[in-house]
Amino acid sequence: MAMEIERKFLVINDDWKNKKPTGYLYRQGYFSTNASPVIRIRISDDKGWLTIKKRRGNWTRLEYEYEIPLCEAAEMMDELCCKPIIEKIRYKIFYGIQIWEIDVFSGENQGLVVAEIELRNEEDVFAKPPWIGKEITNDPRYLNVNLVTHPFCCWR
């Protein structure tokens, strides 16, 4: 069984950019925005991925991910996924012994910057970088699937 244990935080400043990380464009589409499990298509780095996720605990989700042909991923995203498509640049930064992923959203979610850390278990202790703000792990507004129907640009 594939498990993902992840915590999410808002990013409060640009100090993380001092490490000059390389970013990669991620495009994500969702087949439905109100179903469980969540089924997503992602395109990044000239590869396509089909991912199925279901919440199972505070920060734990079942996660199954499969590489699929890029042309099929693009066709499914264009023809089958809800709009708008989530677009973001993902950066990976080492802080201490762990990797943080920073997502800088564009399009309908321009202005939203979120940091995630994957853990081995829900009790893992980790150091928070100085650019980390409020935890949003359990705030459903920040789930990518919910940013499709309620984009960040409409929150104000």
pLDDT in tens, the chain (156 residues): 588 899 999 999 999 999 899 999 999 999 999 888 999 999 998 999 999 999 887 788 999 999 999 999 999 999 999 999 999 999 999 998 899 999 999 999 999 999 999 999 888 899 999 999 999 999 999 999 999 999 999 997
Average pLDDT, the chain: 94
- Give the span between the Cα atoms of 153 and 109, in whole angstroms: 6
CATH topology for the 3-154 domain: Hypothetical Protein Pfu-838710-001 (2.40.320)
- pLDDT attached to residue 88: 98
- Give the span between the Cα atoms of 137 and 142, in whole angstroms: 8
Tell which residue, 45, 25, 13, has the closest CA to residue 86: 25
57 C-beta neighbours (distance < 10 Å), count: 10
Q: Which positions ≥6 away from 134 have C-beta within 8 Å?
A: 9, 10
Question: Domain residues of the chain, as ranges?
Answer: 3-154
Q: Which positions ≥6 away from 44 have C-beta within 8 Å?
A: 24, 25, 26, 27, 90
* 95 flagged as catalytic: no
State the catalytic residue, choosing from 24, 26, 30, 142: 30
